[in-house]
Structure 1
Amino acid sequence: MKTLNVVLCSTFMLAAASGLAHAQNAAAHFELPNECRPETAMHGEGHSDMSASGGGSGSATDSGTMNMDDMDPDAMTEAMRANMEKMMVTMPAMHEGMMNDNPDIAFACGMIAHHQGAIDMAEVQLEYGEDETLRDLARTIIEDQKREIDEMTQWLAENGS
């Protein structure tokens, strides 16, 4: 699990460091429901107040667990860049959503962003992937994840406070 976290954080930091401006445009199409806003989470402490290394001050690179010197953003394929751009939007939102004091709300909010990340990855697969089995799976993922996002958003509207 620690290796996965390091890989995900390294990938996220690589995308941020490479200045992928498209991610800022993508941010306009995804927002968590109002019930997931930072003012309802951790007594006002949103994801911008916490670092990717698990809280407090500093950056993920301060943890000493990441080395991005060996990564070359110019060597990334278009599909890799598309995944990174989309992940730059949903990963912080997922973190923000999970910071609610109420575990039910934290689950729903974190999962909404997580599901949006799955949708985004599936859309990249449909744009760049060639394997029909995986393209079919991507279509199913998009349909299922959208339905589940709707269910969690409805639950939040009825139960989130």
Structure 2
Amino acid sequence: MTDSRTFAAILLLSAGLAGPALAQSPHDHGGMSGGMSGHGTGAAKPDSNDDAATRDFKAADRAMMTDMDVPYTGDPDVDFRTHMIPHHRGAVAMAKVALAHARDPETRAMAQTIIDDQETEIAAMAAWLKRRGR
């Protein structure tokens, strides 16, 4: 697996999207309503004890979860893209936090790869939606 694929797999697993057995409840929509699966409801709330990186990661997580609250259209091709775009933007935001705070060269390289790959995928999904008048 490439680094970006490994990261994507980790995101899917942590979000409860790898299968129904990982979902917290039948009402949490794969762990993507109200917070990522495995995170308490207050996990992304600011805390005065958080260091700068944690504050930035929490802000990126909160923004992603808010932005992912997109209405469904009933068209799985459209819904896939309209929900993945904010998910990918969240990955880019988290990778930018890593670039700003991480010191490990492998972490920084993975973060840059994620930014590059996700921005390319976001552009492709947005172009697909635009071609279909969405």
- 8 Å Cα contact 1:105/1:160 also seen in 2: no
Distance 1:87 1:76 in 2: 14
Question: Which residue matches 1:152?
Answer: 125
- Alignment of 1:79 with 2:111, yes or no, is no
Give the length in aligned residue pairs. 102
Runs of 4+ in 1 over 3 A off after TM superposition: none
Per-residue deviation, 1:6: 4.6
Q: Which has the higher contact order (CA 8 A, sep 6+)?
A: 1
- Alignment of 1:121 with 2:94, yes or no, is yes
Structure 1: gaps (5+ residues): 19-72
Distance 1:152 1:111 in 2: 8
Distance 2:43 2:121 in 1: 27
SS state at 1:119 partner: helix
Q: Specify the code of the residue in structure 1 equivalent to 2:99.
A: L
**Quick check: which has more Rg, 1 or 2?**
1
Distance 1:124 1:9 in 2: 22
Distance 2:106 2:60 in 1: 23
Relative to its length, the structure with more helix (as a share) is 1
Residues 101-143 of structure 1: CA deviation (Å, up to 9, x unaligned) = 2111111011100100110110000000000011011111000
Question: Which residue matches 1:130?
Answer: 103
SS state at 1:84 partner: helix
- Alignment of 1:5 with 2:37, yes or no, is yes
CA, structure 1 residues 158+8, in 2 after alignment: closer, same or farther (shift >3 Å)?
farther
CA, structure 1 residues 129+108, in 2 after alignment: closer, same or farther (shift >3 Å)?
same
- 8 Å Cα contact 1:118/1:145 also seen in 2: yes
- 8 Å Cα contact 1:93/1:113 also seen in 2: yes
Structure 2: gaps (5+ residues): 1-21, 25-30
Per-residue deviation, 1:159: 2.2
Distance 1:159 1:74 in 2: 46
Distance 2:84 2:114 in 1: 14
Q: TM-score, normalised by structure 2?
A: 0.68
Distance 1:9 1:102 in 2: 30
